[in-house]
Amino acid sequence: MSEYVLETFGLTKKYGSFTAVSDINLHIEKKDIYGFVGKNGAGKSTCMKMISGLSHPTAGQISMFGYRGNEKELNQKGAYARVGALIESPAFYPNMSGYDNVELISRGISGVTKKDIDETLEIVGLTQAANRKTKGYSFGMKQRLGIGIALLTHPEFLILDEPTNGLDPQGIAEIRELVHRLVDEKGVSVMISSHILGELEKIAKRIGIIHKGKLLCEFNKEDFLREHSGSVILETPDAEKAIDFVKEQPGSECTVNKEKQIIISNCRLPLGSLIRELVHRDVYIHRITEEQLSLEQYYFDLTNS
């Protein structure tokens, strides 16, 4: 069996002569929080619809829980029974309560019991509001109710398409906390999309960037932060001694900008160790700062190039 909950192989979707997504190869691991980021219209929803079985790929294949094939074959293997999805904003009957909306939808899902509904409403934090009409729900509460419906079958893999879109900061924080609890307490793997990387940066363990229908890259967030440690900016009257020391460090580079600041790149020493070594060499440090390349800046550089 594969270690991945999901893999896609050359996933492609065309509408006539228009190619919405092309040759997408995704890799989502067990208990992963996979942030799928791209501008509006980049192809996020199209990919998620194909993965969740709501849209037929023009080309390519999907492997889910180690089973590879088309929608029919995956369904026969029971793969889709282990998946929950919230694609686009959920719609509810406004004059029905949250509980009644969920109960109505559950009638079309085999095996869902009253206990499942009660547990789901508790997981998404809506037990106290279960008997209120949904027309009185905030947008964030409706999003959580939609996620609750996706959780009715106790899925192992949850697909959330732009669940924080239009939410205020409190609503975004609630969704973020909910996703972490699902992963940590229930062992659920989550794929979550957004057009705002800043939101996903706070929650995702792995990130995939899609742009104009093509997957530009996938990476672990921790690996990215470690590998893109940024530059150190040093202000000192002892520039010559500082530059001599930096040149001794394997792979390190330094330049001097027009403000007479020394810019140190690719330094493998932690900032504290660098300061200690410079002081040991009698380099007077007027000011030293570290600039980290942010995920957001990396994303902008990729998608605007």
Residues of the chain within CATH 3.30.70.100 domain(s) are 229-298
CATH superfamily for 4-225 is P-loop containing nucleotide triphosphate hydrolases (3.40.50.300)
Q: Which of 54, 58, 106, 117 is nearest to 83 (CA)?
A: 54
pTM value is 0.82
Mean pLDDT for the stretch of residues 218-233 = 82
Q: Would you place residue 1 in the very low, low, confident or very high pLDDT band (cuts 50, 70, 90)? A: very low
Q: Which residue has the tokens 């390190």?
A: 252
Q: Would you place residue 104 in the very low, low, confident or very high pLDDT band (cuts 50, 70, 90)? A: very high
Q: What is the pLDDT of residue 2?
A: 54
What is the maximum span of the chain, computed from C-alpha positions, in angstroms?
A: 76
Residue 305 carries which side chain, given as an amino acid letter?
Answer: S
Higher pLDDT, 225 or 261: 261
Q: What is the pLDDT of residue 58?
A: 96
Mean pLDDT for the stretch of residues 169-182 = 92
Tens digit of each residue's pLDDT (9 = 90 or more) over 123-137: 999 999 999 999 999
Tens digit of each residue's pLDDT (9 = 90 or more) over 42-51: 999 999 999 9
Query: For all residues of the chain together, what is the average pLDDT?
Result: 91
CATH architecture of 229-298: 2-Layer Sandwich (3.30)
Mean pLDDT for the stretch of residues 52-62 = 94
Task: Please determine, for residue 305, whether its predicted confidence score (pLDDT) is greater than 70.
Answer: no
Percent of the chain with pLDDT over 90: 68
Q: What is the pLDDT of residue 210?
A: 97
Torsion of CA 291, 292, 293, 297, to 10 degrees: -80
Percent of the chain with pLDDT over 70: 97
Mean pLDDT for the stretch of residues 206-211 = 96
Q: What is the pLDDT of residue 229?
A: 66
Neighbouring residues of 101: CB distance < 8 A, sequence distance ≥ 6: 92, 93, 134, 145
Tens digit of each residue's pLDDT (9 = 90 or more) over 4-38: 999 999 999 999 999 999 999 999 999 999 999 99
CB 147 within 8 A of CB 161: no
CB 50 within 8 A of CB 87: no
Q: Length of the chain in residues, anyone? A: 305
Task: Please determine, for residue 113, whether its predicted confidence score (pLDDT) is greater than 70.
Answer: yes
Rounded distance, CA 206 to CA 85, Å?
19
Torsion of CA 294, 295, 299, 302, to 10 degrees: 70
Tens digit of each residue's pLDDT (9 = 90 or more) over 236-255: 999 999 999 988 888 888 88
Higher pLDDT, 303 or 161: 161
CB 157 within 8 A of CB 2: no
Please list the residues that pair with 14 across neighbouring strands: 19
- Phi/psi at 212 (nearest 5 deg)? 50, 45
Within the chain, strands assigned E span: 4-15, 18-24, 27-29, 33-37, 59-64, 67-69, 83-86, 157-160, 189-194, 206-211, 214-220, 231-235, 253-256, 262-265, 287-291
Residues of the chain within CATH 3.40.50.300 domain(s) are 4-225
Task: Please determine, for residue 162, whether its predicted confidence score (pLDDT) is greater than 90.
Answer: yes
